[in-house]
A = this chain, B = another copy of it.
Amino acid sequence: MATQQIVLASRPKGTPTIANFRFENIELPEVQTGELLLQGMYYSVDPYMRGRMNDVKSYSPPFQIDNAIEGGVVAKVIESKSANFKAGDIVLGALPWRKQMVASEKAVQKIDTGIAPPSYYLGILGMPGLTAYFGLMDIGKPKAGETVVVSGAAGAVGVVVGQIAKIQGCRVIGIAGTDEKIALLKKDFSFDDAINYKTTSNLKAAIAALCPNGVDIYFDNVGGEVSDAVVANINFHARIPLCGQISLYNSTEQPVGPRLQPMLLTRSVLLQGFIISNFQSRFPEGVQHLAQWVKEGKLKFTETIVHGFDQLPTGLLGLFKGENTGKMIVEA
């Protein structure tokens, strides 16, 4: 059957543009034994995908020029030649950006839409939720009464980090880039306070004012000058789960900034870079906790949903402009 796919047309220099993508009409192969024909429902767009657009060794292999972009997708089974799936099942997998696609049964897993709506498996019960859970709990090791600062606080990972930190009894300060996000963090996501870094002239002083006892955990999603301002307030024996550096992903030159090591040294600070696959063997534990908190109403979630398969490149580019609150998803 005929379908449409989105391929990487060229590697971006700096901030990606629509011109780096190309839409193509293709013919899908016949479904073979052990395979499924899928209809894409929800496509995940995530900051880490920027790294895969470069031809650089990293934790995920680079996207290949003229090949379909690949990411987290929730899809419906249209036709099954596997005993484990039937038409109508809802599945999750790392799948190509195609309207319909043929995939091995091993590439997907069934999801339980009784627990949460399907798109949540790309968010709070998926990669961003697990990233928040393991990054905060295993690296941050929050203790009741400690102060936690989260950058990119209104993003898919940030809103979850803040709420889990509150569940652990911490004081939580978020940093985000619009007044709407700041209001939402305090009103809907139980942050104790939040700072708009774009309208705050002295971020270091603003953090100091809201963290009179210093910062015990800094969950870093953004890097750059925002992180410099937080680290300037870091406590002895603080922990920094290093989760994202979105402010630097589109840099065309080596980013330069103050050397942080003297501060990290004299204050005995831990900084740990991590990616979620480091915790793969413990995903069931993470999903169980997250689902329980969602069920108990302790953990809320929000999505920014863009409509239309053809809006996938635009949705991804929107991440770098801070257009999302919570998880950015494209609904086909």
Contact = CB atoms under 8 A, between A and B. Distances in A.
How many monomers of this chain does the complex have? 2
A248 to B, nearest CB: 6
Most buried by B among A224, A227, A269: A269
A259 B271 CA distance: 14
Interface stretch (A199-207, A237-245, A298-306, A320-328): A237-245
Contact of A259 (B244, B257, B266): B257
A244 B261 CA distance: 9
- Chain A: interface residue count, which band? 20 to 34
B248 A259 contact: yes
A274 B268 contact: yes
A256 interface: yes
B273 A272 contact: no
A273 B265 contact: yes
A254 interface: yes
Main secondary structure of the interface of A (DSSP, over half): mixed
A257 B270 CA distance: 20
A265 to B, nearest CB: 4
Given A266-B59, A269-B273, A272-B270, A258 B261 contact: no
Contacts of A268: 59, 272-275, 278
A269 to B, nearest CB: 5
Nearest to A262: B245
Interface string A215-250: 000001001100100000000100000111100100
A280 to B, nearest CB: 13
A284 interface: no
Given A248-B261, A257-B257, A264-B271, 4 more contacts: A59-B266, A242-B264, A243-B265, A245-B259
Interface of A: 51, 58-59, 220, 223-224, 227, 236, 242-245, 248, 254-259, 261-262, 264-275, 278
